[in-house]
Amino acid sequence: MPKILSFSDLDYSQNLKPEFVPPPRFGKTSFSTYKPSHSSQEIALGRVQSFLGQEARAKSKWPWQKTPFRANGLYLDGGFGVGKTHLLAAAYDSFKAQKIYLSFSELVHLIGVLGRQGAKKELGNYQLYCIDEFELDDPGNTLIVKSFLADVFVTNAKVITTSNTAPEAQGQGRFNAEDFKREIQSIAKNFELLSIDGPDYRKRESLASLYSNSEFNNAILSQEDSLKKLKASWSELFDILRNNHPINYLKFLKQIDALYIYDVATIAWQTDALRFVHFIDKLYDLKISLKMTADIELSELFDDSYINTAYAKKHYRCLSRISELLEE
């Protein structure tokens, strides 16, 4: 029987730079494979394609804008599962000049490590920036991103970003966004807002069930022996998540093919929940097999005290992605 790995077998050394390309789940994504299920998705498909070909006059405005403007940025806003990341990855795939793809959290971390001038030197020479999951979680991120995007737009580069949060709602419930309205506005003025609606493409009427103990053990034995399998308890997982910066999750996840977590329980604290959401996002992007066993339902994973607060969309996106992973 092949060795089952534990978290202690992995390398946790810091990895400063992402690969700057779409993750494996979206690595071969194109416009031709995007299948709209809502009129706004059809509009978005055409709009993203035309945005890459010429300067675009915005058709929609942010709440405080009164006149049309020419936008170098395109902001794809919508709920989870409507195809925003598919369009972002397809834009990257079709663009033939210098381009970069990274998540918002990776961008913020890199700017923090490199500094404004260092980031301008290392990241400032692209013609297209594809930034996934744009979220202004705190004042520091807001100021960092404002300065970086100001440098980018001066070069006339194009930026496409996705978000589960409408632009005018950025920061609400997370910090006093009203105090940073001017900074948020200065970011907004360079973007055309494109709202995308429709059902979650996973078309789930209910969430998948977590595994029983026997199903869990059978899954470990039945999956290919060539896979790098890691088995750990729920408490071991959270020890790892708390003791590593979220930017480093991607590196150690790349060392495995399948993850088996047992004794899953409701996450009591919002801070732990956000770490877990980020972890699942990276697991999902890498297409790593996931099996989980628990005495609770998947719908009970996030505690009622916070599930429907400021990060509600993150929580429900996470549940949807876990459900898909469990059924793959």
Q: Rounded to whole angstroms, how far apart are CA atoms 298 and 99?
A: 38
Q: Please state the pTM of the whole predicted model.
A: 0.84
Per-residue model confidence as pLDDT tens digits over 9-52: 999 887 667 889 999 999 889 999 999 999 999 999 999 999 99
pLDDT of 82 over the 50 cut: yes
Q: How many CA atoms lie within 13 A of 313 on its CB side?
A: 18
Q: Which helix (H) or strand (E) holds 321?
A: helix 312-327
pLDDT at 59: 43
Q: Would you say 310 and 165 are in contact if contact means Cβ atoms under 8 Å apart?
A: no
In the DSSP assignment, the letter for residue 203 is: -
pLDDT at 185: 74
pLDDT at 68: 42
Q: Would you say 97 and 127 are in contact if contact means Cβ atoms under 8 Å apart?
A: yes
pLDDT at 141: 77
One DSSP character per residue, 31-73 reads GGG----SHHHHHHHHHHHHHHHS-EE-SS--TT--S--EESE
> Under DSSP, is residue 287 helix (H, G, I), strand (E, B) or coil?
coil
Q: Rounded to whole angstroms, how far apart are CA atoms 162 and 198?
A: 15
pLDDT at 61: 45
Tell the CATH topology of 34-196: Rossmann fold (3.40.50)
**Do the domains 7-17+202-327 and 34-196 sit in the same CATH topology, yes or no?**
yes
Beta bridge partner(s), residue 281 = none
Q: Would you say 58 and 69 are in contact if contact means Cβ atoms under 8 Å apart?
A: yes
- Pick from 167, 100, 135, 113: nearest CA to 274: 135
Q: Rounded to whole angstroms, how far apart are CA atoms 170 and 217?
A: 43
- Domain range 7-17+202-327, CATH architecture: 3-Layer(aba) Sandwich (3.40)
Task: Calculate what percentage of the chain has a pLDDT beyond 90.
Answer: 58
pLDDT of 190 over the 90 cut: no
Reported as a pLDDT band with limits 50, 70 and 90, residue 167 is: low
Strands (E), the chain: 56-57, 70-71, 73-78, 99-103, 128-132, 158-163, 191-196, 229-233, 258-264, 289-294
- Pick from 263, 325, 276, 321: nearest CA to 303: 276
Domain boundaries, the chain: 7-17+202-327, 34-196
Our measurement of the distance from residue 297's CA atom to the centroid of its chain's CA atoms, rounded to an integer in Å, reads: 24
Q: Rounded to whole angstroms, how far apart are CA atoms 49 and 72?
A: 14
